[in-house]
Amino acid sequence: MKLSQMFENAPEIEIAGLCIDSRCAKANDMYFCMEGMVHDGHEFIDDVIEKGVKCIVHSKPVDDMKKGVAYIQVENVNRTLNRVASMFYGHPSRKMKVFGVTGTNGKSTITSIIRDVYSHFAPCGYIGTISISYGEVTLPPSLTTPDAVLIHKTMKDMVEHGMQAVALEVSSHGLELGRVQSVDFDVAVFSNLTYDHLDFHGTIEHYFEAKKKLFTNLKKEGVAVLNADDAYVDQLADATEASVVTYGIDNHATYQAENIRIEKTGSRFTLVHGTERYEVSTNLVALYNIYNLLGAVAAMAESGIPIEQQLPYLNDIRQIEGRMERIDEGQLFNVIVDFAHTPDGMEKVFEYAKDITEDGHSIIAVFGSAGKRDTKKRRVFGEIASRYCDSIILTEDDPRDEDPREIANEIKSGISDTNNIFIADRYAAIRQAIESANVKDTVLILGKGDEVFMYREFGREPWMGDHNVARHCIRKYSLGLEDDEK
């Protein structure tokens, strides 16, 4: 695309690509000088010019301007990046139905349900923490919400592969850092807001303000789908100019679940919408997943897929690895792997474990807390676990450059009288939980879900994944079916 098509009075330079990371700059790219929390993109202008970049978009003055390079000074580089990225890739979000889902917990589950069910009616892609996927293409995830260049490039690829819709996880970081400013959302879903990411946002109020941006920026023709049982529902409803519908269980909602029956392998409930009542049967378990399902069903219904047409596909929703994943290798006790890494998320998993664990049997939990992240929640983790568990095994969870034992000690400060031990190696901790479980006990492995990496001081290294470790340990140490070492 010509530079003159993107900026008035700009020279007739052909731009081959967009770049915000100097390390990835290529010949004939346009480079945006983004100011990050660690580095300022203005510092790398000379580096990218040596690589052949033909245009520099900057907000600070540039003293040494090179011949043959276009310099465009703007007030806000990020805002310009969003506008240009959408234009450069042909405004792909305008060519699909775009579902955006935000909230502390449930984003991955709601977006995955939308992708799977909506795809029975029209091809639907997904962008989030699990992967980037569309059609037969599955790519590893970038960030929960990628940068504006990757978002629009990915959506362009989706359009070219025939996608008619996309479900996008929208994180508070992505909203605060302006990564989705130019995405044309049709439906925005709010799951909930609880304690998380305060190391980045500072206060719960700032955290909420970041989430709210998805709804304040939602077009009038869009639909906001809000959790009626969350304390922030009224503030979000007042903040948006879009149409508003709600979903919930306790408070009156546009889409409401009644007569809920939750079992070990599935759930049933009555979905009330207006004067209609629908009997829903699903393989999803736990009360919080009823909320996630309601949010997804409401979003799709508001986008034109009638509830009665959705019902057959709710019976067997694809298992989302690492999200309330039941590990069944034939053992006589429950093993559940979940990504829960917030106080609210962990408590909901513990509540479900209590519901499915018979009296006289134990709940055993394995978890830690990420290094270089919100430290205030560590003691809270211990307090919550102590209320529900009979045994707690503390271990590493993306320690980065912190000592896992010190992190565990902070968690332990919240544990009252529950038996607990620290095992640094996560594999060994999971093995200990599996080996100590008796018939009808419940083992919870929390924090990392299906992630196959571990963040350490030197960066990211491979990790088997909690779900894979659990299966391996059950087969080898509980059932004696394997002889191989880890």
Binding-site residues for ATP, please? 103-109
Q: Which helix (H) or strand (E) holds 70?
A: strand 70-73
- Tally Cβ neighbours within 10 Å of residue 65: 12
Sheet with strand 243-248: strands edge to edge: 137-139, 132-134, 124-127, 165-169, 97-102, 187-190, 223-227, 243-248, 255-262, 267-273, 276-282
d(C-alpha 266, C-alpha 283), whole Å:
4
Backbone phi, psi, residue 477, to 5°: -100, -20
d(C-alpha 212, C-alpha 190), whole Å:
9
CA 148 vs. chain centroid, Å, equals 17
- The CA-atom distances, in angstroms, between 107 and each of 168, 261, 268, 304, 468 are 9, 23, 22, 21, 23
- Tally Cβ neighbours within 10 Å of residue 417: 6
For residues 251-274, one letter each, b for 16 or more C-beta atoms within 10 angstroms of the residue's C-beta and e for the rest, the string is eebbbbbeeeebeeeebebebbbe
d(C-alpha 153, C-alpha 166), whole Å:
13
Beta bridge partners of 18: 30
Annotated binding site: 22, 103-109, 144-145, 171, 179
